[in-house]
Chains A and B, each alone.
Chain A
């Protein structure tokens, strides 16, 4: 990847973020930045604190300490729906689509904040989601719960895009998918970023994530142990072996 210049104002700036579950510290003072239009990856093994970090960013779990600045505004401990309103949307691990709603209804709910005022905007955004994921159009009347894992992932990403977010947080989009499908999903993520979307990607599948990410942070037990452009990380065998094997 060439676009490794990181300068100007970051869209997301996390400073000394700390999160605890009871007495156990899950995230122990991490700092990182995401710039507009980038795909940034948070890498690391199970339990490194990647998902916890995303949950803290979108208000799913409370933060113990630290500051989070999104688009110049402090968002620490805001409610999840407020953070969505500000333009940062989380596609959680396990997809969390609405199983009893149809694909069409799942997509429509994503327009909850603006559909009453601007229905055309919703239809427009839905068309661009269908362009990315044609399967969703075919399955529009099917219940979300009956979709395959890959289709559910497409629906979860499509739904987030319809909110009109400026920044997507993707948690393990490849989880449980066949290798072919992982490639397809990740290349679509790359396409979404090319359309101007900023993406923070959490992945266990580090090698594939670094194929599309411009910059990566490596986490271990709640701390950032390494950061750099994806190419520079890949070239360091030790890092790859110790943390990303």
Chain B
């Protein structure tokens, strides 16, 4: 293998890993704060893809500045998916506040299917091609041509993670989110409106999913109504691998799943064996450390 291919594969890994990391992050945010596994999240991702597609198709015919269009469609997708996420929270989760956990899981799966088939009915089953959201220039990296959009996908993903980290560590809302995720009852005693913080986590999840969708659309362009399904499973696995609820764990899990998806097909005879490798890694990690790589066990001191 020559150096050219290696560099390209490293970039492919960083690109895919960044997208998985973002998706896992958006998934883990809701789990961490609201303590519920939101399986409808994949459909939120799907809605985001379609909003990005229609909005950018419409705007690219009218506005010539691609970066401007990118920012606008990202905002539109974030707003639309945030509203859907809030609707989802009040329709599918809040009424089940005192129900057993499994009821909430079933409800989230059902809500996700409802949204997915709504997309199918409204937009049809035909696969679509996302317009180039990020302009595709070629740059040279140490003499090797690299498409700029791949670098931009990685940069935007990392930038999003950094911004998220700053919000969580430094802002009042972020501090409240950490408090609620660690101890919801005590957070209430501190005067934190836990219901609003949980809603905020749904909005965060939707916005991050929208950024991830824009990067996914840029990187792989072809998608259909069920695009969220595969993404949600892999990001769920990435989140569990890293330790669900843990933000750094989600990022780590995302890059590990990304690495497996790129490296396994090169080394193994059949490319779909990568799924076997990914699940094997997941099972081994969970056997050794049931809380995931960065997950913490809840320790109660008496």
Contacts and interface: CB of A to CB of B under 8 A. Distances in A.
B194 interface: yes
A99 B182 contact: yes
Contacts of A173: none
B196 to A, nearest CB: 9
Interface stretch (A80-88, A184-192, A197-205): A80-88
A98 B191 contact: no
Given A98-B182, A99-B299, A145-B299, A81 B188 contact: yes
A208 interface: no
A90 interface: yes
A159 interface: yes
Interface stretch (A2-10, A45-53, A105-113): A105-113
Interface in A64-122: 79-81, 84-85, 89-92, 94-101, 105, 108-110, 112-113, 116
A108 B191 CA distance: 12
Contacts of B182: 98-101
A230 interface: no
Interface in B152-196: 172, 175-176, 178-179, 182-183, 185-195
Given A92-B189, A96-B185, A160-B189, A112 B302 contact: no
B296 to A, nearest CB: 7
A236 B175 CA distance: 50
Given A116-B172, A149-B301, A176-B302, A84 B179 contact: no
A216 interface: no
Contacts, number: 82
Contacts of B186: 92, 96-98
Contact of B188 (A84, A95, A98): A84
Given A101-B178, A112-B176, A175-B302, A79 B185 contact: no
A163 B186 CA distance: 12
Interface in B172-227: 172, 175-176, 178-179, 182-183, 185-195
B300 interface: yes
Nearest to B98: A62
A91 B188 CA distance: 11
Nearest to B296: A100
A214 interface: no
Contacts of A108: 175
Interface residues of A, number: 35
A142 B152 CA distance: 39
Interface residues of B, number: 23
A112 B191 contact: yes
A91 B190 CA distance: 10
B178 A79 contact: no
Contacts of A95: 301
A152 B300 CA distance: 11
Contact of A149 (B193, B194, B195, B302): B302
B302 A84 contact: no
A77 B296 CA distance: 34
A60 interface: yes
Contacts of A229: none
Nearest to A58: B189
A98 B301 contact: no
A204 to B, nearest CB: 14
Contacts of A91: 189
Nearest to B172: A116
A84 B299 contact: no
Contacts of B299: 99, 145
B302 A81 contact: no
B302 A109 contact: no
A60 B192 contact: no
Contact of B175 (A79, A99, A112): A112
Interface of A: 58-60, 79-81, 84-85, 89-92, 94-101, 105, 108-110, 112-113, 116, 145, 149, 152, 159-160, 163, 175-176
Given A84-B188, A112-B179, 16 more contacts: A58-B188, A80-B185, A81-B191, A81-B193, A84-B191, A91-B189, A94-B300, A96-B189, A97-B186, A101-B179, A101-B182, A109-B175, A110-B190, A112-B176, A163-B190, A176-B302
24 contacts: A60-B185, A60-B188, A79-B188, A79-B195, A80-B189, A81-B188, A81-B190, A91-B189, A94-B302, A96-B189, A97-B186, A99-B182, A100-B182, A100-B296, A105-B175, A109-B176, A109-B187, A112-B172, A112-B176, A112-B191, A159-B190, A160-B189, A163-B189, A175-B302
